[in-house]
Structure 1
Amino acid sequence: MEDIIAGRNQVREALRAGRDLHKILMAERLEGEIIGEILSLARTCGVPVQRVDRNVLDKMVGERHQGVVALAAAKGYVEVEDLLALAQKKGEAPFLIMLDQVTDPHNLGAVLRSAEAAGAHGVIIPRRRAAGLTAAVARTAAGALEYLAVARVANLAQTIVKLKDSGLWAIGAEGDGEKLAFASDLTVPLVLVFGSEGRGLSPLVRKRCDFTIRLPMRGKVNSLNIAAAAAVLMYEVVRQRYCGSL
């Protein structure tokens, strides 16, 4: 479950300590020295701040919040280097998943569950404009968060460049991708990059990918939900790497 941190000093100290915070809820028109420090620390740490009515905070924690409540991640994040180290420890070619501004917690949770089941070495998400590891995500992941490492980064495009420098291929998934997924070599060290619901890959992230792949669509709809598409593509990686010619 999410850890709720209430109170100005408590939230400030959590930010100072580098605690993984999903977001900060702050009462409207709240000002002051400590509030200014919280806002500055939140900007530095990449933690979004949402202004809300005090009644929202009252319902969450009673009247002990002093106008400030922080929601901590349901699980701590790791560094991207930790994901690569895990692949090396297992003696496997890196298999990472990157999510570009996926905002729906149920989609994120479903992707995390599929990633763990498919044996991915970890998932990378952005700090801003995306769902984090909230209680709702943990519930949808149905236990997968206990076994799957998740890294959160400030800049996805720069992270892709670093991964490519480490020998990984960056392969984007799009409805009109350049290559058919089933005709592409997914046995190489790779990071599969999936775009947000509706908008797909952001232009700069798409530009950093080596190429994009697509799934063949035989029906009337022209694309799958991100959670469904991610599951299919992750298991294509499993098929190519571990199932031989079956």
Structure 2
Amino acid sequence: MSDKPHSRRKQPGGRPTPPFRRSPRPDPSERIFLYGLHTVEAAFGNPDRKRHRLYATQNALHRLEERGIAPDVPVETATPRSLQAMVGKDAVHQGAVLEVSPLPALGAQDLRRATLVLALDQVTDPHNVGAILRSAVALGADAVVTTERHAPEEGAVLAKSASGALDMVRHVRVKNMARFLEEMGEAGFQRIALDSEGDAPLDEMEFAAKVVLVLGSEGKGVRQGVRAVCDRLARLDMPGRIRSLNVSNAAVLSLYIVKRGQAGS
């Protein structure tokens, strides 16, 4: 699809289709502390990540150097105790803390060339979302979309749980998931929501070249208003005695099924 500005196409009835809505820009003065060697390494490898200062022990600096990381920001030598004071005593910082700005805000307009997008409808646990980000990178998804409310904010816990994946895949935060899915449908994406009452197993479906896969929170699942915008409802049929998976495991399996289906079509 062209990267030219989104045109005002006509909806049924002659009304113009609204242009893509842009997400609010992050506060340029806001700072986040990322920690852990994998997380810090990925942040240095992300050209979209604005970095400010690295706090690290001598051992961590050596380990980063072994990974080919040459810090492009001021480096302050720190002790493990001083790093704990910055990020909390329970944080597994591995001797490295990087001060950064939040990533640039993204929206549907940034996903025109995507082929597989994973949307999480009010999944709140940062550990689950972090694990899903890792799976999205491993399985070749182009972006992970979360809601601005009832979802974890970009920060140290999410970044650490993602073990670097936050800086490897596009993370889009939207105010209104249903509206986002409407925009993606207008851009030619097939929208599939996972639901236990889905009309067909996901692995028996045919997939378009461009798919948005929608997963909901544990317990509530995908909300009714979000399901209503989707083209299909699909289910994951489990062969064993436990009939359902938690959201992070469901994300792995469903991404694999869709990716395999797209490759074979």
The normalised TM-score by structure 1 is: 0.65
Q: Could you say which residue in structure 2 is the equivalent of 1:106?
A: 127
Q: Could you say which residue in structure 1 is the equivalent of 2:193?
A: 172
Amino acid of the residue matched to residue 135 of structure 2? S
Superposed displacement of residue 74, structure 1 = 5.3
Superposed displacement of residue 219, structure 1 = 2.1
Alignment size in residue pairs = 178
- In 2: Cα distance, 1:131 partner to 1:107 partner: 10
Contact 2:116 2:259 in 1 (8 A): no
Counterpart mapping for 1:198-209 below 5 A: 198-209=219-230
- In 1: Cα distance, 2:130 partner to 2:178 partner: 23
Amino acid of the residue matched to residue 105 of structure 2? Y
Superposed displacement of residue 201, structure 1 = 0.6
Superposed displacement of residue 149, structure 1 = 0.6
- In 2: Cα distance, 1:178 partner to 1:220 partner: 21
Superposed displacement of residue 230, structure 1 = 0.7
- In 1: Cα distance, 2:101 partner to 2:145 partner: 15
- In 1: Cα distance, 2:257 partner to 2:180 partner: 24
In structure 2, the gaps of 5 or more residues are 1-23, 32-84, 88-99
Which residue among 140, 150, 154 is the counterpart of 2:161?
Answer: 140
Q: Could you say which residue in structure 1 is the equivalent of 2:245?
A: 224
User: Going by fraction, where is helix more abundant, 1 or 2?
Assistant: 1
Alignment pair present for 1:82 and 2:103: no
Aligned-CA RMSD value: 2.8
Contact 1:125 1:152 in 2 (8 A): yes
Contact 2:147 2:176 in 1 (8 A): yes
- In 1: Cα distance, 2:207 partner to 2:253 partner: 13
Q: Could you say which residue in structure 2 is the equivalent of 1:241?
A: 262
Which residue among 211, 214, 233 is the counterpart of 1:193?
Answer: 214
The normalised TM-score by structure 2 is: 0.61
Residues 119 and 176 (structure 1 numbering): CA distance in 2 closer, same or farther, change over 3 Å? Answer: same
Residues 17 and 165 (structure 1 numbering): CA distance in 2 closer, same or farther, change over 3 Å? Answer: closer
Q: Could you say which residue in structure 1 is the equivalent of 2:27?
A: 19
- In 2: Cα distance, 1:187 partner to 1:168 partner: 8
Superposed displacement of residue 79, structure 1 = 2.0
In structure 1, the gaps of 5 or more residues are 1-15, 23-58, 62-71, 88-93
- In 1: Cα distance, 2:194 partner to 2:173 partner: 20
Residues 187 and 117 (structure 1 numbering): CA distance in 2 closer, same or farther, change over 3 Å? Answer: farther
Q: Could you say which residue in structure 1 is the equivalent of 2:44?
A: none
Superposed displacement of residue 174, structure 1 = 1.4
- In 1: Cα distance, 2:211 partner to 2:25 partner: 33
SS in 2 for 1:224: coil
Residues 201 and 60 (structure 1 numbering): CA distance in 2 closer, same or farther, change over 3 Å? Answer: same
Superposed displacement of residue 214, structure 1 = 1.0
Superposed displacement of residue 75, structure 1 = 3.6
